[in-house]
């Protein structure tokens, strides 16, 4: 789960990390009020969306008057910002963060990520801040600093000092840098975060270290014990298809194709996506219906798949162990009747109660296409989809 910049900064301050003063705004008038509250003669208006590269899309503006603040807020609010991370659909700006401008002497990149291979938290830092870590590693690979944290003892002060010295910071700044690095690690460890990124962390003209921007992502599986973090979720920034499925307890990931998939088991689901591609189709989603799926759960799965307007055919692929094929078949029949489906539906059943499941489908009188193997099912759904497209075009 991602959160907004202003929320990330609020969390960082709780762990001793210094951030610029600022306030949230939902209208141009409120943005101007926030600027007047902060006083000064220069402010930064930032669109709050779950994406990087906002500045390149016009989502970050430096303003020298309250009129400029109002104009920037008017332009951003209600607009869909398109960045290389959002895709062409963009993300809607519904709130802004207005903060005091900072006089920058040096920009630094600082990130904390989970390395799945090492099973450790890894600190990644660079004296070349202000751009994506991918750009830094490509343009200045020698500037990348890495430090692995031992989970048995956590981040140690000596590691933070080593990172600070490696960044070339002046001696008077080392203590501040150590406090910032340790604070970021504590946030990650104590709040079940998957990533904490401060980019840039800046040295100001006044000789202070400040987190100028921040991005924090959390482990969805730990939210049950972090209700204060779960409350920070902004569903308007998420894929509506995935939000709909997640709220109904389904494991779903939206893709860009036309063939919806309802499968049990993550491994079989991945294999199903591959087979659809090999047969010449494009999968519209990954969906794991889970073990012991009832007919009602299958109906929910159909609704989740059909929540994507691009879906033009559906493949149900079940290898039943804990599941029962007759329950799945009953769910398919229930979905087709209740949702009045006219698009092609291909069902491949195997495993527990497979004969009973096939009988349910045969006795339903519905135009369900059945298959015995995954390869046959993939070929059938792609062929049925192409036939439907041809008929529609004709």
- Domain at 257, CATH number: 3.40.50.261
Q: Domain end: 101, 134, 162, which one?
A: 101
Which of the four pLDDT bands, split at 50, 70 and 90, describes residue 59?
very high
Q: Pick out the residues of the known binding site for substrate.
A: 264
Number of domains the chain contains: 3
Residues 176 and 209 placed together within one structural domain of the fold: yes
- For position 191, what pLDDT does the model report? 96
Percentage helix, strand, coil for the chain under 3-state DSSP, each rounded to 5: 40, 25, 35
Edge-to-edge, what's the strand order for the sheet holding 345-351?
251-254, 285-288, 259-263, 313-320, 345-351, 369-371
**Distance (Å) of CA 13 to CA 25, 40, 353:** 20, 22, 57
CA dist., res. 54 & res. 75, Å (int):
14
Same domain, 135 and 203: yes
Residue-level pLDDT at 322: 79
C-alpha 115: how far from chain center:
18
- What is the chain's mean pLDDT, rounded? 93
Residue 143 has a pLDDT of 81
Q: Quote the CA–CA distance of 109 and 25 in Å, as a whole number.
A: 27
d(C-alpha 288, C-alpha 331), whole Å: 15
- The answer to whether residues 253 and 382 belong to one domain is yes
pLDDT band with cut points at 50, 70 and 90 for residue 146: very high
Q: Are residues 194 and 275 in the same domain?
A: no
Say yes or no: 25 and 122 in one domain: no
On whether both 226 and 256 belong to a single domain, the answer is no
Q: Do 270 and 354 belong together in one domain?
A: yes
107 SS3 class:
strand
Q: Which residues are annotated as a binding site for ATP?
A: 46, 99, 102, 107
Q: What percent of the chain has pLDDT over 70?
A: 100
CATH of the domain at 192: 3.30.470.20
Domain assignment of residue 334, given as a range: 240-393
- Domain boundary pick from 76, 101, 126: 101
Give the C-alpha distances (Å, rounded to integers) separating 253 from 98, 140, 218, 245, 296: 34, 34, 18, 9, 20
Phi, psi of 17 (to 5 degrees): -90, 130
User: Looking at residue 58, which CATH number applies to its domain?
Assistant: 3.30.1490.20
- With cut-offs at 50, 70 and 90, classify the pLDDT of residue 293: confident
Active-site residue set: 109, 197
Tens digit of each residue's pLDDT (9 = 90 or more) over 168-218: 999 999 999 999 999 999 999 999 999 999 999 999 999 999 999 999 999
- Nearest Cα neighbor of 223 from 189, 191, 186 is 191
Q: Domain ends where: 74, 101, 128? A: 101
For the cut 80, the answer to whether the pLDDT of residue 321 exceeds it is yes
Looking at the structure, tell me whether residues 175 and 157 fall in a common domain: yes
Q: Are residues 232 and 244 in the same domain?
A: no
**What are the binding residues?**
46, 99, 102, 107, 199, 213, 264
- Do 95 and 139 lie in one domain? The reply is no
Q: Does residue 163 register a pLDDT over 80?
A: yes
In this structure, the answer to whether residues 139 and 82 fall within a common structural domain is no
Residues 259 and 195 reside in one and the same domain: no
Q: What pLDDT was estimated at residue 56?
A: 87
Q: Starting from the edge strand earliest in sequence, which strands make up the sheet with 60-63, in order?
A: 22-25, 96-100, 43-47, 60-63
For 330-379, the pLDDT digits (tens) are 999 999 999 999 999 999 999 999 999 999 999 999 999 999 999 999 99
Range with lowest mean pLDDT among 219-223, 242-246, 390-394: 390-394
């Amino acid at each position: 789960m991602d959160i907004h910049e202003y929320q990330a900064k609020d969390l960082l301050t709780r762990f001793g990390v210094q951030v610029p003063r600022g306030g949230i705004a939902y209208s141009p008038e409120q943005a101007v009020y926030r600027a007047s509250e902060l006083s000064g003669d220069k402010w930064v208006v930032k669109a709050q969306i779950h994406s990087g590269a906002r500045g390149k899309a016009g989502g970050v503006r430096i303003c020298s008057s309250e009129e400029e603040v109002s104009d920037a807020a008017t332009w951003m609010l209600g607009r869909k910002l398109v960045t290389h991370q959002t895709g062409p659909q963009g993300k809607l700006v519904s709130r802004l963060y207005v903060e005091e401008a900072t006089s920058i002497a040096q920009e630094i990149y600082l990130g904390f990520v989970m390395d799945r291979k090492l099973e450790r938290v890894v600190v990644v830092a660079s004296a070349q801040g202000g751009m994506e870590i991918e750009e830094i590693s490509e343009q200045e690979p020698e500037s990348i600093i890495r430090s692995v944290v031992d989970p048995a003892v956590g981040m140690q002060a000596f590691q933070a000092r080593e990172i600070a010295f490696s960044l070339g910071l002046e001696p008077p700044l080392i203590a501040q840098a150590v406090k910032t690095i340790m604070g970021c690690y504590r946030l990650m460890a104590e709040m079940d975060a998957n990533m904490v990124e401060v980019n840039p962390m800046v040295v100001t003209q006044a000789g202070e270290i400040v987190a100028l921007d921040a991005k924090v992502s959390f482990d969805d599986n730990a939210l049950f014990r972090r209700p204060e973090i779960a409350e920070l979720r902004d569903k308007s920034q998420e894929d509506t298809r995935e939000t709909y499925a997640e709220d109904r307890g389904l494991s779903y990931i939206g893709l860009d194709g036309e063939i919806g998939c309802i499968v049990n088991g993550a491994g079989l689901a991945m294999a199903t996506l591959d087979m659809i591609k090999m047969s010449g189709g494009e999968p519209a989603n990954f969906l794991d219906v889970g073990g012991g799926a009832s007919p009602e759960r299958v109906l929910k799965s159909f609704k989740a798949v059909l929540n994507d307007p691009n879906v033009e055919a559906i493949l149900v692929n079940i290898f039943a162990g804990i599941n029962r094929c007759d329950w799945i078949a009953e769910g398919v029949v229930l979905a087709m009747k209740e949702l009045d489906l006219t698009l092609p539906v291909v069902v491949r059943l195997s495993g527990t109660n497979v004969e009973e499941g096939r009988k349910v489908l045969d006795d339903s009188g519905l135009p369900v296409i059945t298959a015995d193997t995954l390869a046959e099912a993939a070929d059938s759904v792609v062929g049925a989809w192409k036939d439907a497209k041809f008929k529609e075009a004709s």
